[in-house]
Structures are given as C-alpha cells and as structure tokens.
Amino acid sequence: MNAPLIQRHAMDVQADILIEARHISRQFGAFQALTDISVQFRAKHLCAIIGPNGAGKSTFFNILSGAIAPSSGSVLFQGQDITGLEPHEYARRGIAKSFQITNVFKQLSAHENVRVAVQMRHARFDFFSPRAKLAGVAQTAQALLERVGLASLGQKPAGDLAHGQQRSLEVAMALAADPQLLLMDEPTAGMSPEETTVMMDLITELAAERTVILVEHKMKLVMGICKTLIVLHHGQLLAQGSPEDIRANPEVRRVYLGQG
C-alpha cells in the first residue's frame, strides 16, 4: 500500500523540478569559475541568481542555457540529462534565453526578428512554401510584439530601435518558442528607470506561466519580485532561499555590505 504512494510522491517531486544543476564545476584554464554547484529550480517559479561581479553568475547562466558546457557535473531538464547538447537542442526542449549583450538580427525588421523566432515551431526546413503563406506565424509574431509593447515598431530595422526596445524585442523572441524556462541575463542592464519598471512588470507577468531565472547584480531589483534567490560568491554557492532568508543571512550581508 505504501510503495505506490511513495512512488507517486517521488514523481510529483520530479514533475515539480524543471531544471536542476548537479555538482557543476567549470575551469577556464587555471581559473576556477565555478566549484561544485548543485541547485534545483521549480516549475512556474521566478528565481534570481545574484552575487557581486566576478561571482560566476554569467558562467552559471551560460551553463544552464547550454552556451558553454561544465567541466564536470550535469544539467538535468525535466529529469533528462541535457549536459553538452547543442545550443539549438536546448532551445527546442523549451529553454529560451535573452543575452546580456543585446543580441538581435540588427538588419531585419523587428517583426521579422520575432517572426523568424516563431517560425521555428512551424517550419524548420521548409524550402518551398512562401513565408507569407504561414499566416499564423506572422500573427503570433505581432501578438508577441504587442505583449512587449513594440506593436507600432514592427517594420523598423531592429538595429534602429532604442536600447530598451531591443531588450524587449529579445524577450519577445525568447517567448516565441513558448518556453517552459526563460533565462534572462541582466534583463535591465543599461535601461532607464522607466524602462526598468516596465521590464520588471513584464517579467513578473511572464513568471506566472513559466519558470524564469534572472541573473542580476542589482540586489534590490529582484528582492521584491522573486520567490527564491541564489547567491554565488567566488564561484561557490553562498546561500539560497526566500528573499527574507537571504536578507537575514550574515554571509550575504558580509559579501554585499562588507560587514563582519
């Protein structure tokens, strides 16, 4: 009688955890960027990786998003080991990311940017049917542009958009694949206060439907909205927990405020 129960319980846990890092380490030559980091991220959950500069945030982010492979350890997505797969494989499994340096197709129009991203789900190697025929794609793209507040700028070449707008465009592209996991590397970097608030609202909104992992070094920014915080320091996991725990954590205070 008990056995199945336990089993179901186990399965629930499995289901609840979207992506998991197991004993992740990474060296760059002699430099140890990350040492034995194990973290679990739960589904439909907004979470931030914080830490002072050089803490290894971006490295960790890149490993989670498949941009670089760990020296040791593994990444599990929905219980599957996806360590070292090609970047596009990550994307196809439903892992989307927005980069730290703005990263769009500069010469293509904003709409085309999103359209290409959306198209991925419909026609990967279609040589013959005219693009225009994929009407659904164009509409989805438009919808996404509206969602990030760029509806009116669809025809503008992405390169000509303002910095903040380009970041938003990136989010739209990331959303195009309707990902279960959205990784965002300093989404508000270089944004004006207004743009920042808009972006943070958007992020909270997005987190309602999927897991969102932010990398951020502005601590206050994430305190408000995140359920969980993960603090890295010198490439090691310093602390993880709710904003309250983190705020209370003396170690973190020392690192950030140089106390003790």
Partner 1 sequence: MAPLLTPVLTLIARHRVLSVLLFLLIFPWLMPYEALAVNILIFGLYAVGFNLLFGYTGMLSFGHAAFLGVGSYLTGMSIVHAHLHWLIAIAIGVGASGLVGALMGHLAIRTRGIYFSMVTLALGQIVYYGFYKAERWTGGENGLRGVTVPAFEFAGLTIDFTNPVTKYYVMLGFVAIALGLVSRILASPFGAVIEAIRENEKRAAACGYDVARSKLLVFVLSAAICGLAGSLRAIHLSVVPIDSLHYLQSGQAVMMCLLGGMGTFFGPFVGAAVFLYLEDVVTTLTRHWMAVVGTIFMVFILFFPRGIWGSLIGRWERATTPSAQT
Find the helix or strand (DSSP H, E) in which 180 lies: none
Residue 107 interacts with partner 1 (CB under 8 A): yes or no: yes
The reply on whether position 198 binds partner 1 by CB under 8 A is no
Structure tokens of 259?
């106390």
Number of C-beta neighbours around residue 164 at 10 A: 19
CB of 90 to partner 1, least distance (A): 8
The CA distances from residue 146 to 140, 150, 168, 214, in Å, are 10, 6, 11, 22
Residue 99 in contact with partner 1, rule: CB under 8 A = yes
Asked whether position 103 contacts partner 1 by CB under 8 A, the answer is yes
Tell me, residue by residue from 4 to 23, as one string, x for binding to partner 1 by CB under 8 A and - for no binding: --------------------
Identify the residue whose tokens are 């969980």. 228
Nearest 5°: phi and psi at 141? -60, -45
Q: Is position 97 an interface residue for partner 1 (rule: CB under 8 A)?
A: yes
Question: Which residues are within 8 A (CB) of 240 and not within 5 positions of it... i.e. 6 or more apart?
Answer: 39, 228, 229, 230, 231, 246
Q: How much of the chain is in helix, strand and coil states, percent to nearest 5?
A: 45, 25, 30
109 is a site residue for partner 1 (CB under 8 A) = yes
The CB-of-245 to partner 1 minimum distance in angstroms stands at 33
Q: Under the criterion CB under 8 A, does residue 142 sit at the interface with partner 1? A: no
DSSP annotation string for 39-79: EEEESS-EEEEE-STTSSHHHHHHHHTTSS--SEEEEEETT
The secondary structure of 198-238 as a DSSP string is HHHHHHHHHHTTSEEEEE-S-HHHHHTT-SEEEEEETTEEE
By CB under 8 A, the count of residues binding partner 1 is 40
Between 66 and 235, whose beta carbon lies closer to partner 1?
Answer: 66
Establish if 176 lies at the interface with partner 1 (CB under 8 A): yes
Is 125 a binder of partner 1 (CB under 8 A)?
A: yes
Q: Considering the complex, what minimum distance in angstroms separates the CB of residue 128 from partner 1?
A: 6
Q: Is 106 one of the binding residues for partner 1 (CB under 8 A)?
A: yes
Distance CA 253, CA 255 (A): 5
Span near partner 1 by CB under 8 A; candidates 19-27, 87-95, 213-221, 223-231? 87-95
Which positions from 27 to 66 touch partner 1 by CB under 8 A, shown as an x/- string?
--------------------------------------x-
Q: Give whichever of 170 and 216 is closer to partner 1, judged by the CB atom.
A: 170
Residues engaged in binding partner 1 (CB under 8 A): 65, 86-88, 91-92, 96-97, 99, 103-109, 112, 115-117, 119-120, 122-132, 134, 155, 157, 173-174, 176-177
